[in-house]
Amino acid sequence: MAGVLKPDTGSLELAGTPIVLNGPADAARAGIVSVFQELSLLPDLTVADNIALSSPPRRFGLIDSRAQRRIAEEALQRVGATDIHPLAPVRDLPLSRRQMVEIAKALARDPRILILDEATSALTASDVAAVFRVLKSLRDRGVAIVYISHRMREIDELADDCTVYRNGRPVATFTAGSKSAKEIVEMMIGREVRSVFPPRSMRPLPEQPALQVRHLSWANHLKDISFTVRPGEVVGLGGLDGQGQRELLLALFGALIGVTGEVEAFAKPISLAGPRKSGEAGIALIPEDRKAEGLMLPMSVRDNLAFAAMHRFGRFGFVDRRAEDRAVNEIVQLLSIKAPNLDGPVGSLSGGNQQKVVIGKWLLTHPRIILLNDPTRGIDVGTKQEIYQLLRTLADAQAAILLYSTDYAELIGCCDRVLILYDGALKGVLEGGAINERNIVARAHNLAIDSTAPTVPQ
């Protein structure tokens, strides 16, 4: 529909007239605007340049930068992202802000048909709410919206009609609200589900912590954070997006410079001097941006899986292909990675399978402490479920797991404990039955936990 792929068969009709799209430019002219999950912003250009990119305001044939800036400011205002400077280069913005720019960009194009593909995957609840307000007002003005999401709640809140697809085939179309979430999930994965999340282990945890963090601070972003993760435990990191969760994981993995405080892995102090050192200490980080930080897209699945554990396959400075193959095949089976050929480029796999490759790559290093940075962003329900199961399996095998997620349901369903960060400081630890949405939200906004409904001073 966006003109990216040429259909082999079939036709497209816009308001009753058939149209042929020979590229995204055609689609834009027809009023079809898409926001893709994988961001389509230009990192070197400014926010304003990006928003006005496809039809910039012109005066005497040239781009009118003042008018462009006004358009950008209005668009940002509409989605409630007034904290973004229109002249800032997109490169400098965090992921969630970029996504807001992406949405603002789509709105500035005045779409007749708006396609959003996982457009809110990195957004916080308040951003999502602002976006939904705009979408609803667009709908009321007669804009047709196609909203693709893996978050059931968003579909419930927004959609009029739903269609479930599986493997490129429509499974069912129904009016929103006529099916239960459980029924929908069954349609999506094509089999019956009992529970999305595996049951927690009931075994008592060893006293000795796997990871001990004391008074960790970094620049202005992390403030005096202390906590422990025990072997066999899944600890969640929650809170609003951008409160230092990512930085905390990066700090533990040695990617930040100037971190103060003590970190111990299995009672041995570790230096935070870089991913190599952390890897040696048995720490693995599943990064947030799998395309940039997790995978070498053009290289084969096999190579990608073997990279992090290369030292294990080394013999006299050469790679022992047989040991490598054995380990790779094992992990492919364990994670049921669906790749037509292990020697094909990893970039050709689906998002979910790419993510499994990233996870598998680190599992090959036999980590004892696993840090995960929003691992289920933008992947399908089936794979999500497999990942939840995997996390629990790893924990049962005595791995210590620290999971950052922007999805509250995941924190609630997966974690034994949840740490809430706010403005770079640890604001609360929820445990057992106290891990529920209300508590998480309240803590995330730094409100007292006993207030009946979170209210915020304006």
Nearer Cβ to other proteins (85/312)? 85
Nearer Cβ to other proteins (250/295)? 250
Q: How far is the CB of 121 from other proteins (least distance, A)?
A: 16
Nearer Cβ to other proteins (74/343)? 74
Nearer Cβ to other proteins (277/312)? 277
Q: How far is the CB of 455 from other proteins (least distance, A)?
A: 9
Q: How far is the CB of 290 from other proteins (least distance, A)?
A: 14
CA distance 405 to 411: 7
Nearer Cβ to other proteins (99/383)? 99
CA distance 49 to 130: 23
CA distance 73 to 432: 45
Q: How far is the CB of 63 from other proteins (least distance, A)?
A: 5
Tokens in use for 365? Answer: 């290093």
Nearer Cβ to other proteins (272/331)? 272
Q: How far is the CB of 307 from other proteins (least distance, A)?
A: 15
Q: How far is the CB of 449 from other proteins (least distance, A)?
A: 12
Q: How far is the CB of 138 from other proteins (least distance, A)?
A: 17
Are 193 and 385 within 8 A, CB to CB?
yes
Nearer Cβ to other proteins (27/371)? 27
Q: How far is the CB of 295 from other proteins (least distance, A)?
A: 14
Which amino acid makes up residue 414?
Answer: C
Nearer Cβ to other proteins (62/202)? 62
Q: How far is the CB of 27 from other proteins (least distance, A)?
A: 7
Start-end of H helices in 288-320 = 301-306, 310-313
Nearer Cβ to other proteins (202/456)? 456
Q: DSSP secondary-structure letter at 52?
A: T
CA distance 386 to 341: 21
Q: How far is the CB of 257 from other proteins (least distance, A)?
A: 5
In Å, how far are 177, 249, 359 from 375, measured between CA atoms? 29, 13, 9
Phi, psi (degrees; rounded to nearest 5) at 314: -75, 135
Are 249 and 373 within 8 A, CB to CB?
yes
Per-residue exposure over 148-182, b if at least 16 CB sit within 10 Å of its own CB, e if not: bbbbbebbeebbeebebeeeeeeeeeeeeeebeee
Per-residue exposure over 349-371, b if at least 16 CB sit within 10 Å of its own CB, e if not: bebbbbbbbbbbbbbbbebbbbb
Nearer Cβ to other proteins (65/228)? 65
CB atoms within 10 A of CB 185: 19
Which amino acid makes up residue 228?
Answer: T
Give every CB contact of residue 198 below 8 A, 6+ residues apart in sequence: 388, 389, 392
CA distance 146 to 160: 10
In order, the DSSP letters of 15-34 are TTEEE---SHHHHHHTTEEE
In Å, how far are 38, 92, 254 from 95, measured between CA atoms? 11, 9, 21
Nearer Cβ to other proteins (130/164)? 130
Start-end of H helices in 364-446 = 381-396, 408-414, 437-444
**SS3 labels along 320-350:** CHHHHHHHHHHHHHHCCCCCCCCCCEHHHCC
Nearer Cβ to other proteins (59/214)? 59
Tokens in use for 408? Answer: 């509250």
CA distance 367 to 10: 49
Q: How far is the CB of 317 from other proteins (least distance, A)?
A: 25
Which residues in this chain contact other proteins in the complex, by CB under 8 A?
2, 4, 23-28, 34, 36, 39-46, 49, 53-54, 56, 58, 61-63, 65, 82-85, 87-89, 91, 105, 124-129, 132, 218-219, 240, 242-243, 250, 254-258, 274, 293, 422-423, 437-438, 441-442, 444-446, 453-454, 456, 458
Tokens in use for 330? Answer: 């094992």
| Distance from chain centroid for Cα 456 | 27
